[in-house]
């Protein structure tokens, strides 16, 4: 009898011990789900604290010294944009402007790239500014084209679905209330959601989803998350919100260096989901800050803060905004890479326009000592663009901003107009007119 009782005691002890081990293992598994590893250093996602240092704004007086744009100057700049849109409307209703110009002339293209949404977005801005129904009609036709592209799944294996469908169909739905545009935008959000990698908690930027060589995020994607945040607000489906939020958090954890410069892209280990290393695709080097990507980051962190109220995004946005402002040349229009502050390297007016528009938004939402300076800086950038970087006096041009850089390493669109540069230049000016 004693032997039987002893055996029962041993069995019960083993059951208790194994149960405790199971609880421990489950706890460890849950903890691991909240950790990413840089080399041998595990970082808790839930309690992440950024090591990026705020570089401050080194010479704030240079921005304060620039006279803010007057209402007349803003109106004249807006009217020039409207004149250009009017001249292009016949060519670009069933077709779209090319991503970059040649000799400051956009050619017509089909809806199959990543940039077509910017022109449609300009049409919606033109309608809001003028209330002329011709822009509304043209934009609605283009939104039909975006639905056709989605139904046929034409070249949508990338993260820029946000640029394509937020600026066209979401904006169209907000302005017109047309359910067809809402439906198209939600289907596009579903398409973007397919690129979310649960293991690494990021949206894969390019290429075949899951392909080992393409396991990376890029700073640009921060701008495309707005489509997912919007879809969550429309439907209550938390999958949209969680993918956008987790991607933004992963980006905040890997994309900024300690000095507030930024990587362009960051590879993720496909087996572990852990961040691997940062490289550039468009910048001067893997250790530099590509200007347009950095500008995407300024604006993109603002967008995630707007929708989540997570101070991490505001704080990272402030740091990289200050880095950007510290690396502007004398006339406030950045070079194509922030390594350059003077010299003969090409400027990128598109990066300048993106930053200006982003800074105007940051200045209204952030709880920051820099808000006034961000407004001054945006005015300084826009004043320079208006005065020295438009195509107003270039005969035969159908574009708006000159001296942009699509890809310096690829020698594409260097010293040309870029359709997204035109869009964000217009958007920034419209913000100064009280339109968002």
Could you list the pLDDT tens digit for every one of the 436 residues in the chain?
Answer: 434 334 434 433 433 333 333 332 232 333 344 555 555 556 678 888 999 999 999 999 999 999 999 999 999 999 999 999 999 999 999 999 999 999 999 999 999 999 999 999 999 999 999 999 999 999 999 999 999 999 999 999 999 999 999 999 999 999 999 999 999 999 999 999 999 999 889 999 998 888 888 888 999 999 999 999 999 999 999 999 999 999 999 999 999 999 999 999 999 887 787 888 889 999 999 999 999 999 999 999 999 999 999 999 999 999 999 999 999 999 999 999 999 999 999 999 999 999 999 999 999 999 999 999 999 999 999 999 999 999 999 999 999 999 999 999 999 999 999 999 999 999 999 999 998 7
Distance CA 92, CA 114 (A): 16
Distance CA 47, CA 390 (A): 46
Q: What are phi and psi of 432, to 5 degrees?
A: -70, -20
Taking CA atoms, 100 is separated from 103, 104, 221, 404, 420, in Å, by: 10, 8, 20, 9, 9
Distance CA 361, CA 413 (A): 28
Q: Identify whether 151 is a catalytic site residue.
A: no
Q: Which residues contact 46 (CB under 8 A, 6 or more apart)?
A: 34
Within 10 angstroms of residue 50's Cβ, the number of other Cβ atoms is 15
For the chain, the structural domain boundaries read 47-432
pTM: 0.91
Question: How many residues are there in the chain?
Answer: 436
Indicate the CATH number for domain 47-432.
1.50.10.10
Q: Identify whether 86 is a catalytic site residue.
A: no
> Of residues 91, 94, 160, 239, which has the active-site annotation?
160
> Of residues 32, 40, 220, 372, which has the active-site annotation?
220
Distance CA 307, CA 195 (A): 20
């Amino acid at each position: 009898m004693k032997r039987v009782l002893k055996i029962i005691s041993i069995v019960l002890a083993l059951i208790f011990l194994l149960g405790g081990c199971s609880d421990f293992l489950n706890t460890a598994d849950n903890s691991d789900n909240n950790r990413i590893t840089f080399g041998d250093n595990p970082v808790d996602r839930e309690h992440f604290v950024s090591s990026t240092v705020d570089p401050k704004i080194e010479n704030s007086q240079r921005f304060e010294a620039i006279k803010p744009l007057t209402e007349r100057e803003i109106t004249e700049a807006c009217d020039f944009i409207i004149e250009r849109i009017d001249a292009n409307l016949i060519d670009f209703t069933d077709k779209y402007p090319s991503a970059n110009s040649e000799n400051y002339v956009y050619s017509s293209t089909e809806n199959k790239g990543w940039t077509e949404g910017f022109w449609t977005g300009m049409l919606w801005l033109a309608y809001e500014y003028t209330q002329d129904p011709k822009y509304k009609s043209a934009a609605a036709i283009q939104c039909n084209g975006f639905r056709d592209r989605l139904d046929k799944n034409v070249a949508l294996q990338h993260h820029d679905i946000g640029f394509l469908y937020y600026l066209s169909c979401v904006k169209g739905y907000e302005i017109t209330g047309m359910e067809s545009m809402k439906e198209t935008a939600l289907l596009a959000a579903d398409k973007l959601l397919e690129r979310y990698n649960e293991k690494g908690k990021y949206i894969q930027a390019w290429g075949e989803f899951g392909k080992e060589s393409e396991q990376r995020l890029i700073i640009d994607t921060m701008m495309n998350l707005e489509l997912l945040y919007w879809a969550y607000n429309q439907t209550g489906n938390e999958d949209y919100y969680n993918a956008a939020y987790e991607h933004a958090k992963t980006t905040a954890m890997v994309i900024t260096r300690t000095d507030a410069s930024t990587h362009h892209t960051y590879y993720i280990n496909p087996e572990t989901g852990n961040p691997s290393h940062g490289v550039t695709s468009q910048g001067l080097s893997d250790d530099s800050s590509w200007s347009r990507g950095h500008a995407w980051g300024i604006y993109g962190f603002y967008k995630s803060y707007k929708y989540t109220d997570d101070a991490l995004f505001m704080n990272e946005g402030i740091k990289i905004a200050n880095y950007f402002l510290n690396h502007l040349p004398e006339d406030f229009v950045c070079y194509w890479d922030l390594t350059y502050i003077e010299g003969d390297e090409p400027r990128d007016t598109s990066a300048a326009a993106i930053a200006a528009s982003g800074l105007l938004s940051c200045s209204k939402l952030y709880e920051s000592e820099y808000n006034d300076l961000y407004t001054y800086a945006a005015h300084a950038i826009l004043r320079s663009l208006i005065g020295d970087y438009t195509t107003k006096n270039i005969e035969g041009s159908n574009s708006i901003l000159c001296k942009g850089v699509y890809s310096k390493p690829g020698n594409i669109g260097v010293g040309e107009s870029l359709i997204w540069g035109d869009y964000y230049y217009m958007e920034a000016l419209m913000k100064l007119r009280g339109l968002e």
